[in-house]
């Protein structure tokens, strides 16, 4: 059986812990590989490699670091199909979605290619008599990212693209459920350095593992900052533990994104958008749209009818099937969790309009498939509304007024993303101003900002005070040094320069 190794200091490194995790093919339900799980010693080996590399990498001028990022971008683009197929084989999302996964990560790499401009500091001439003040942004040192299974290409590149470009060296701890693409990215980064004649050995290291590896990263004294994406409970744990060990931490958690449908919306377009946002990638996205909120009974009935018609056309299939709109979920355990939530919704009294349980493909009966599921008349006291299901389950929560619709996402424990569908610019503007959520879409069902803006939710969707990528990401991965300088003329010292007093 194939074994997936760590990638440390530019080489494949076997785990010596004797602990392994199974990597499944979600289409068949069969184990296709095993991945070594690191202990604190193996994490330390990666940190030592990063520590050794960091001073020389930080000394490479920003323009030459950008050349490495450009070369990395070219290599990833050239291998897009290979990476997407590899990603789909372990995650289960269809290849088209996997290509989107890679592409959205590359967009942050593209932003990082402009790092010479982004790193420019501030300058004030004549701040005092003969005194100039200027600032510079410098790397933190060795930093780390802990990434989830649902975007094994995009989220790592969101993190290390900026972190490495500014001069840090990086430890990536990807999900052990789909670890092959992160290793491949590490190999391609090494190749990118060689292509432009810059030694990047130890700059990007990949260490696989479970909680033991996570804790080793959070507690390691030489790691200065940690970025995390995952569930909210673990995000809170990562934030508290990392901060307690003196680290800068950004920890992105779960979500329950709402789509508000006003009576004047283009309902046909909104339904197509909602179907893609709710069921694409089997709903395994923190920016999925699992809750739709029609305003008014007429809107609700029309929306329900159109959703049903679209759901009937959905094709669930193998991740390699170009005609499939979504594939299996990632593991048998996750499938069981989703189906458990569907039963909970029934028990709570929601109306199960479409039941996705029991779905199977001929010849792939052991695959981790869940059919599209639709609930109506869901209420805010239901556990299925309060929790993140992270599967192909769409819920209709009816609202009688615009104010009630705004209040639903605003009061929810999660505040990652929200969308409104309307032709009324004034209503959309008011919604964007009032809603208590970090990212807002106006007739955009998945409002993930472009790479030169930043990504981040509110409430239990994010812990820490810095968002990912864009200038927020650059600020997270750097520290500011401010210099106050004067150059006295001649050999005679001028008057002392001290903090002004009243005397």
Alpha-carbon span 107 to 4, nearest angstrom: 27
From residue 449, how far is each of 25, 279, 454, 457 by CA, in Å? 31, 20, 6, 11
- Any idea what the Cα angle at residue 278 is, between residues 272 and 282, rounded to 5°? 120
Tokens of 29: 């339900």
Q: Is the sign of the CA dihedral 303, 307, 309, 310 positive or negative?
A: positive
Tokens of 213: 């590896």
Tokens of 446: 């998945």
Q: Is-contact 53 201, C-beta < 8 A? A: yes
Going through 262-357 in order, the beta strands assigned E by DSSP cover 291-294, 351-354
Q: Is 286 a catalytic residue?
A: yes
Q: Is-contact 193 199, C-beta < 8 A? A: yes
Q: Is-contact 160 204, C-beta < 8 A? A: yes
**Reduced to 3 states, what is the DSSP secondary structure of residue 163?**
helix
Q: Collect contacts of 60-66 with beta carbons under 8 A, ≥24 apart.
A: 60/167, 60/198, 62/115, 62/116, 62/119, 62/165, 62/167, 63/116, 64/196, 64/198, 65/115, 65/164, 65/165, 65/167, 66/112, 66/113, 66/114, 66/115, 66/116, 66/165
DSSP letter (8 states) at residue 39:
-
Which residue among the candidates 286, 287, 291, 399 is catalytic per the annotation? Answer: 286
Residue with tokens 């309060």, as numbered in its chain: 386
The H or E element spanning position 182 is helix 180-195
Q: Are strands 414-415 and 458-459 parallel, antiparallel or unpaired?
A: antiparallel
Report, as residue numbers or ranges, the catalytic residues. 286
């Amino acid at each position: 059986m194939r074994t997936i190794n760590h990638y440390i200091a530019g080489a494949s490194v076997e785990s010596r812990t004797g602990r392994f995790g199974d990597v499944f093919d979600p289409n068949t339900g069969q184990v296709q590989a095993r991945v070594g799980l690191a202990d604190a010693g193996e994490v330390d080996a990666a940190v030592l490699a990063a520590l050794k590399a960091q001073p020389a990498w930080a000394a490479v001028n920003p323009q030459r670091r950008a050349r490495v990022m450009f070369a990395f971008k070219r290599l990833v683009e050239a291998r897009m199909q290979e990476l997407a197929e590899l990603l789909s084989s372990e995650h289960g999302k269809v290849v088209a979605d996997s290509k989107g996964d890679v592409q959205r990560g590359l967009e942050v790499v593209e932003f990082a290619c402009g790092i010479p401009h982004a790193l420019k500091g501030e300058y004030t001439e004549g701040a005092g008599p003969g005194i100039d003040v200027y600032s510079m942004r410098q790397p933190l040192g060795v930093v780390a990212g802990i990434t989830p299974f649902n975007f094994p290409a995009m989220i790592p590149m969101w993190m290390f693209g900026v972190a490495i470009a500014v001069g840090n060296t990086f430890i990536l701890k990807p999900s052990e459920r789909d670890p092959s693409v992160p290793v491949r990215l590490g190999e391609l980064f090494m190749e990118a350095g060689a292509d432009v004649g810059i030694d990047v050995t130890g700059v990007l290291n990949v260490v696989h593992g479970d909680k033991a590896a996570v804790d080793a990263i959070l507690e390691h004294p030489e790691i200065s900052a940690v970025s995390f994406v995952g569930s909210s409970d673990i995000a809170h744990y990562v934030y508290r533990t990392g901060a307690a060990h003196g680290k800068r931490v950004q920890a992105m958690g779960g979500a329950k994104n709402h789509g508000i449908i006003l009576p004047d919306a283009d309902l046909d377009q909104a339904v197509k958008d909602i179907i893609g946002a709710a069921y694409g990638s089997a709903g395994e996205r923190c920016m999925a749209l699992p809750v739709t909120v029609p305003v008014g009974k007429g809107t609700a009935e029309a929306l329900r009818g159109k959703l049903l018609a679209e759901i009937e056309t959905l094709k669930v299939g193998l991740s390699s099937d170009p005609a499939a709109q979504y594939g299996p979920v990632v593991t048998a355990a996750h499938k069981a969790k989703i189906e458990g939530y569907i039963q909970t919704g029934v028990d709570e009294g929601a109306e199960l309009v479409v039941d996705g349980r029991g779905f199977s493909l001929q010849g792939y009966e052991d695959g981790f498939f869940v059919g599209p599921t639709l609930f109506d008349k869901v209420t805010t006291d239901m556990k299925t509304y309060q929790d993140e299901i992270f599967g192909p389950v769409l819920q209709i929560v009816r609202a009688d007024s615009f104010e009630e619709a705004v209040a639903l996402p605003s009061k929810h424990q999660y505040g990652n993303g929200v969308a409104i569908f309307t032709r009324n610019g004034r209503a959309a503007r008011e919604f964007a101003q009032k809603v208590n959520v970090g990212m807002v879409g106006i007739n955009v069902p998945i409002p993930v900002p472009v790479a030169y803006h930043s990504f981040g939710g509110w409430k239990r969707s994010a812990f820490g005070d810095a968002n990912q990528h864009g200038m927020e990401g650059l600020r997270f991965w750097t520290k500011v040094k401010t210099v106050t300088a004067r150059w006295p003329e001649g050999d005679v010292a001028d008057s002392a320069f001290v903090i002004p007093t009243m005397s």
